[in-house]
Chain A
């Protein structure tokens, strides 16, 4: 038996989740699909006193399409969003990047919001949230608030969520008329990204976002750049991300990927 000992609370209401979080604070962890948290527990990198299982709460398992936004509840599994008929039309970037999250065998259980809560810097859903400029809906017993994507990720596996807050849902904007591109380099499809990039056309030009390099997924907005101006912007950005060497790839290789994939994706969406 690998995980440390903890109490297990099978929540029957959202209020029950919030009470548990209020009482136990940093000693409690919310358990959704468990595809990151259980691995952390098995390696004893996390040692909570209480796990609060939210997956029996129907109200957290909704995908709601509004006029200009899609709201995805905390209990929505990655496979469920991938199978949602509106995905390709409303959220093309998610349709492109979600198949790169883990494997079929983990997407079947893992949730979208769980991946955001885990905040792995090389994960695809944090990158999509940053690239699209979505919002995270947080709720505690005392208050409800929405945090913009760029303020949510604060470091490697660190977020702006307070200890007593539940990620209730996220909202992602429907960017009608925009063009999207996504590409990832990993040793094997489904492994952690060495570099993952997304490009989106904007009214002023293009937004380019990179995951897997800096401590948090990072985006830049540029006008319609071409030729050497684009190369310079990408080169500057590649260095600003402060890539590090690790067992998977050197910092230099990561910078190369940012420049090359960036030029490709931006060319593709702006053509």
Chain B
């Protein structure tokens, strides 16, 4: 039995975008704060902090996860993917990110990290989505700039391009 005391910091080890990392967290520290404050991975945004807006969505052990509804202590030993893990290199966007850029699928960009994670996860498992599939997935995100239509267009275009080139989303 591992009982972590409330007012002490405890080590949390995990894999972040393929790299083993370790930092300390109190039991009450959310994964959002752990990523941003302890690990410096500020690509994951903090919006509503009660699971509604979707800005903090990341992938934990292959599961789409609201980082604000997850404790750092819960994901000790887990494999975590955040928006920083999407681009193949620092100077190059992946296919989905490029489709977002072409279609003006973001304006202020606050919601974008979470939406990219949901779409990247979904498209890797459902390479030929319908518009309805994408709309249903996006009910889990709030965007106040775009009206969603450009996001849907970008997602469908990324899926079509991936199908045409027969390559994965980071081609």
Contact = CB atoms under 8 A, between A and B. Distances in A.
A108 interface: yes
Contact of B27 (A5, A13, A188): A5
A1 B9 CA distance: 13
A109 B63 contact: yes
A7 B49 contact: no
B140 A105 contact: yes
B74 A53 contact: yes
Interface in B132-155: 136-137, 139-141
B29 A106 contact: no
Interface residues of B, number: 36
B137 A104 contact: yes
Contact of A51 (B27, B66, B122, B139): B27
Interface string A38-68: 1101110000010101010000000000000
Contacts of B29: 1
Nearest to A8: B27
B116 interface: no
Contact of A2 (B49, B54, B70): B49
Interface residues of A, number: 38
A10 B150 CA distance: 43
25 contacts: A1-B26, A1-B33, A2-B49, A5-B6, A5-B7, A8-B4, A9-B1, A31-B71, A31-B74, A35-B66, A35-B69, A38-B69, A39-B51, A42-B49, A42-B68, A51-B71, A53-B73, A77-B63, A103-B137, A104-B137, A105-B54, A105-B141, A106-B140, A109-B66, A189-B136
Interface of B: 1-7, 26-30, 33, 49-51, 54, 57, 63-66, 68-71, 73-74, 76, 118, 122, 136-137, 139-141
The 7 nearest A-B residue pairs measured at CB: A103-B140, A8-B27, A38-B69, A105-B140, A39-B50, A5-B6, A108-B63
